[in-house]
Amino acid sequence: MSLLDLCLQGLAVFGFILFGVLWLMHFMSIIYVRLHLHRKRSEVKGQMAGVSLLKPLKGVDPNLISNLETFFTLDYPKYEVLLCVQDQDDPAVDVCKKLLGKYPNVDARLFIGGKKVGINPKINNLMPGYEGAKYGLVWICDSGIRVKPDSLTDMTNQMTEKVGLVHGLPYVADRQGFAATLEQVYFGTSHPRSYISANVTGIKCVTGMSCLMRKDVLDQAGGLVAFAQYIAEDYFMAKAIADRLAR
Ligand SMILES: *[C@@H]1O[C@H](CO)[C@@H](O)[C@H](O)[C@H]1NC(C)=O
């Protein structure tokens, strides 16, 4: 057999195994989600812990206002919305002001200017909000996320005594255009497949897009400042919290 044949055969075997593993991960994920993540609407159980929502904002897209609005209509007894914008001239400031005006009864504040503590722009932007946060749980949640009224209840219900971090696995809403469709396919298949398979096999793997954390544990690890030196702050936060709870 020639070397070329050998290489091609090797490649074919490799491709076949990869194909099999991906399908296995896919089925495993579907079964896990069906069994564990399909629950009825979450009810607020007794005393819920207060939550400080931190929203890093930069720029405006056509969906920003309707996405953000879902956080003003959460069905949750005790939370505050801390909107953080780095730049005074950012058009996101107007969007925030509109919502603050529309929902005067929601405990919400706008922080402009950030605070430079490191190389990570998201952390710099969030610093003033974090310092002003008054509740024991902080929820860092990206600007592109939208939620249902019971999403926060669902997340805090998972925050039992031994848990330091709860994250959400996002999926993409229907939008127009090729890029949006591509993103929807990715977030409906490949992205959750790897996260759920990691979870099922016991690998700690966190998506930082929507993350609820215990503030005291984060503060023990040095607070938000400690993560400003990293670009992948979500990974390091998750690791620091896991390390602390494992002790
Ligand atoms: C997997 O997910 C469950 C909740 O569905 C969580 O309690 C558990 O800690 C996760 N495991 C890992 C290794 O992240």
**Inside any domain, residue 36:** no
Q: Do 187 and 79 reside in the same domain of the chain?
A: no
Q: Do 86 and 193 reside in the same domain of the chain?
A: no
204 in contact with ligand 1, CB cutoff 6 A = yes
**Inside any domain, residue 18:** no
**Inside any domain, residue 21:** no
**Inside any domain, residue 217:** yes
Annotated catalytic residues are: 234
Q: Do 229 and 162 reside in the same domain of the chain?
A: yes
39 in contact with ligand 1, CB cutoff 6 A = no
* Domain count along the chain: 2
Q: Do 68 and 183 reside in the same domain of the chain?
A: no
User: Are the CB atoms for 138 and 49 separated by under 8 Å?
Assistant: no
Residue nearest to atom 10 of ligand 1 (CA): 199
Q: Do 97 and 176 reside in the same domain of the chain?
A: no
197 in contact with ligand 1, CB cutoff 6 A = no
Residue found under tokens 């209509």: 73
Give the domain extent around 184.
170-205
Task: Please identify, by atom number, the ligand 1 atom nearest to the C-alpha of residue 205.
Answer: 14
**Inside any domain, residue 147:** yes
Of 199, 204, 212, best ligand 1 pocket probe by most atoms within 8 Å of the beta carbon: 199
Q: Do 116 and 188 reside in the same domain of the chain?
A: no
From the CA of 199, how far away is ligand 1's center (Å)? 6
pLDDT in tens, the chain (247 residues): 788 999 999 999 999 999 999 999 999 999 998 998 877 666 666 567 999 999 999 999 989 999 999 999 999 999 999 999 999 999 999 999 999 999 999 999 999 999 999 999 999 999 999 999 999 999 999 999 999 999 999 899 889 888 999 998 888 988 888 999 999 999 988 899 999 999 899 888 888 899 999 999 999 999 999 998 888 888 889 989 988 887 6
Q: Give the pTM.
A: 0.88
